[in-house]
Structure 1
Amino acid sequence: MDTPLLVSVVDDDESVREALPDLIREFGFAVQAFASAQEYLCSAYINSTDCLILDVAMPGMSGPDLLRALRLRGHATPVIFITAHGDDREQAQLKHCGAVECLLKPFSETALIKALSTALPLDHPDTEDARS
């Protein structure tokens, strides 16, 4: 049996860290949640994360700062940004920095699975199951 792809969620909002992983698990993925960028960077999951869902605005290191730090360390993990205060210009800038997608909170299940399907390998059974 294949190991599910790991999606890591980094968001300082506790309600997001509780609700979003439950939804992502329903799609068939494994999930780890982190309260800060620093917590994620110090975790054992940094090398096994297949997709990273990052809040843009967090105390300390922001989502874009974490993305830059990961790229400097050689990590090419696909990133989906989530934000409560985004506009089209900011979303375009985040995509230019390497994000697969930028979702405005609250986002729909459909938008989330579409972003995950874009971020993750098309030939992996988990993304196929999640899209059906």
Structure 2
Amino acid sequence: MKQDTQIPNSMTIAIVDDDDSVRTALESLLRSTGYKVKTYCSALAFLNTNGPAQTHCLVSDIQMPGMSGLELHKQLVAMGFHIPTLFITAYPEAVPSLGTDMSAPIACLPKPCETKKLLSFIETALFQQN
């Protein structure tokens, strides 16, 4: 029996990170894999667009100025968006608990991310929605 899956390029992955080099590297990797990618330099930049409504998977830094990735995740849930989320962080030992009132992220990966792990988690995030 054939599994019902969407074509990757029909799915949008949003990258939210205040580090331009991280955004650029992730965007290049994901585009080369066939995904549609949108990048944002901050959580507020993402929230102030129609990004949340168009995003199938979110890759977000945790520690960013203004609003952290965890605060972004909480805000999205409060707005009714349940986007599968992967967190990335340069400080994996300092990741705070999300609390029981939030949907759990798919993963929390250290920067730099191991490519195979990142792509595997993105695939898991995208296809758990189907």
Structure 2 length-normalised TM: 0.85
Greater mean deviation of Cα atoms: 95-104 or 26-35: 95-104
Corresponding residue SS for 2:121: helix
Partner residue of 1:39 out of 41, 45, 50? 45
Alpha-carbon distance in 2 for matches of 1:123, 1:78: 8
Corresponding residue SS for 1:82: strand
* Identity percentage of aligned residues: 36
Structure 1 length-normalised TM: 0.83
Q: CA deviation at 1:41?
A: 0.2
Q: Which residue of 1 aligns with 2:3?
A: none
- Where does structure 1 lack aligned partners over 5 or more consecutive residues? 125-132
Residue 59 (structure 1) aligned with residue 31 (structure 2): no
Per-residue deviation, residues 95-121 of structure 1 (Å, max 9, x unmatched) = 964211011001111011111012111
CA 1:34–1:60 in structure 2 vs 1: closer, same or farther (change >3 Å)? same
Q: CA deviation at 1:122?
A: 5.7
Residue 121 (structure 1) aligned with residue 127 (structure 2): yes
Q: Which residue of 1 aligns with 2:18?
A: 12
Partner residue of 1:73 out of 72, 79, 84? 79
CA 1:119–1:35 in structure 2 vs 1: closer, same or farther (change >3 Å)? same
Alpha-carbon distance in 1 for matches of 2:29, 2:51: 20
CA 1:63–1:122 in structure 2 vs 1: closer, same or farther (change >3 Å)? closer
Letter in 2 for 1:78: P
Backbone CA RMSD of aligned residues: 2.2
Letter in 2 for 1:8: A
CA 1:31–1:90 in structure 2 vs 1: closer, same or farther (change >3 Å)? same
- Where does structure 2 lack aligned partners over 5 or more consecutive residues? 1-6
CA 1:114–1:95 in structure 2 vs 1: closer, same or farther (change >3 Å)? farther
Q: CA deviation at 1:28?
A: 1.1
